[in-house]
A and B are shown apart, each in its own frame.
Chain A
């Protein structure tokens, strides 16, 4: 059990993050900086989904980004081919990603450790082959442009369209808060306790009667639902989708965010998402060095700060709070 002061400190940190996030787009002017904020929130959503599996259940879903792509393609195809509204498509995207997680999880979650990681990677690769080759449906590697943006019909007959970065910012903030609230409730329930038990000692958990497989499936599915919702939002925000959604760039970025931010904490992935969306802009001159830096930071982060930036920050704040000089 962590001591209460640490719990209070992390909750205090949470309120701070919330206040900053609400005021931020009003303080920052200009489309491009706001675009970066929107992307930060999108990645925060995606990273939080990955974090549930990686940080809480303690399983490494290397192929996680396929759920991002499944979500993106689901609502895109519903909107483009069938004229379904974003809101319904968004829910369908989460649902289908979750359903695929159950399909993939049923065999993969029988395996432990690296075998699970590699199996999910294999499924993701198969998925990416399908996205690239099932041209009749996915339009193949060229992708699908002109994805409609979300709209809300107004009583007067018009409609409010989410076509500004500011409107997207608050829409995504809402989605993120919703996801984090669900995760928070989940992790502070018996289910969260089961995840802790599985992560710390799965054999023991099984021995004392925790139905570990069922809980792992649940964790994997919820994690995928969040990934699918993020993918759908991403597609309708950027308005073009290609199979790259499950590709290398997103895999590296999302995993870096979770690991450097601090896996197994609520705020860590959010922190990582903001940092790794905004930071690359500061390194703009070195655009092609971005991947090199990400990779190096990932290794350095694992070696030097196993609990991520958030862990580092809460260590500091605890020391300051107690007035320990160390």
Chain B
């Protein structure tokens, strides 16, 4: 089988996961102007939520993925209440530190509860190989990650574009004060953004956890990757995050196969620094939530 196509397929799957976490990050930033350093931690929490549901409560894996969204969302709300809400109005840099502190607490609680070792999140389709057009063979789990990811992103985009609450979110992102004057409950929108942003990252963890395995620090590198994606795509841009995720996933997967495996995690970081310097608004970025 063709190595290039296999790596490309893997890259797209990983890219979708990056896109999901990055969309969570960019949504929260677009609405609250808070950079959530716990975004990778919520990815991890989603994976562990699914693990507890599957391994202890014998819930079906697919139901567990669905349930990981509200569970991670609720955990996000707790974090928001404790480390973001009390600081609203302060200098934006304090949020980086306070959400970092919240992430440390959550990660180490998981470490204490489940130990440092990698745990398997079992999916019934993790080992079933699927042929696509007779040339690419990937596991059905990866196909599921791809489909579920695209579906989640499409649903979120529809919600933001068409839904009543989505309209409120766009209004707050565009102009917080005017939105408040128009009778929109800004705090409510903040909570909604955090809930969705946390939930979508949690789902990414529950999806990807069954491709690899799960461990308490699995979110740290993903957080860095989502920064790369969000900055490449433009802060606050949903299509940018989607596209950025795919590009990064492909670059890492193909670069890792053909250039250097040791430094594959550096590609995105270098690209991000370059984008920040040359095109700070991102490749697709404009102001406001799109």
A113 to B276, CA, bound (A): 13
User: Which B120-157 residues sit within 8 Å CB-CB of chain A?
Assistant: none
The secondary-structure label for the interface of chain B is: helix
Contacts of A127-175 to chain B: CB distance below 8 A = 129, 133
A295 / chain B contacts, CB cutoff of 8 Å = 100-105, 108
Contact yes or no, A118 B35, CB < 8 A: yes
Q: In this assembly, does B227 line the interface, its C-beta being within 8 Å of a C-beta of chain A? A: yes
Residues of A within 8 A of B (CB): 60, 62, 107-108, 110-111, 113-115, 117-119, 121-123, 125-126, 129, 133, 248, 252, 255, 259, 288-289, 291-292, 294-299, 302-303, 306
Q: How far is the CB of B48 from chain A (nearest CB, A)?
A: 16
* A116: min CB distance to chain B, Å: 9
Q: How far is the CA of A288 from the CA of B108 in the complex (A)?
A: 8
Instruction: State in angstroms the CA–CA spacing of A255 and B269 once bound together.
Output: 23
The verdict on A110 contacting B104 (CB below 8 Å), with A292-B112, A299-B83 known, is no
> What residues of chain B lie closer than 8 Å to A299, measured between beta carbons?
82-83, 98, 101-102, 105
Binding site for A on B (CB under 8 A): 35, 82-83, 86-87, 90, 92-94, 96-98, 100-105, 107-109, 111-112, 217, 220, 224, 227-228, 231, 262-263, 265-266, 269-270, 272-273, 276-277, 280
From A62, A126, A288, contact of B270 by CB (8 A): A126
With A118-B35, A299-B83, A303-B86: A259-B104 Cβ-Cβ less than 8 Å: no
User: Nearest residue in B to A132 (C-beta to C-beta)?
Assistant: B262
Q: Pick the contact of A302 from B87, B104, B270 — CB < 8 Å?
A: B87
Contact of A296 among B105, B112, B270 (CB under 8 A): B105
Partner of A291, one of B87, B104, B263: B104
Chain B residue with minimal CB distance to A121?
B224
Does more than half of chain A's interface fall in helix, strand or loop, or is it mixed?
helix
- Nearest A residue to B217, CB-CB: A248
Q: How far is the CA of A159 from the CA of B171 in the complex (A)?
A: 72
B94–A302 contact, CB under 8 A? yes
Known: A60-B93, A114-B35, A122-B273. A129 touches B112 (CB 8 A): no
Q: How far is the CA of A119 from the CA of B107 in the complex (A)?
A: 23
Q: Which of B86, B108, B227 contacts A292 (CB 8 A)?
A: B108
For residue B93, give the distance in angstroms from its CB to the closest CB of chain A: 5
Asked whether B98 lies within 8 Å of A302 as measured between CB atoms, the reply is: yes
Task: With both chains docked as a complex, state the minimum distance between the C-beta of B52 and any C-beta of chain A, in angstroms.
Answer: 19
> How many angstroms between the C-alpha atoms of A118 and B276 in the bound complex?
10
Identify 17 new A-B residue pairs, CB closer than 8 A, beyond the known A117-B96, A129-B262.
A111-B276, A115-B231, A117-B35, A118-B231, A119-B276, A121-B224, A121-B227, A122-B272, A123-B273, A129-B263, A292-B109, A294-B104, A295-B102, A297-B101, A302-B87, A302-B98, A303-B87
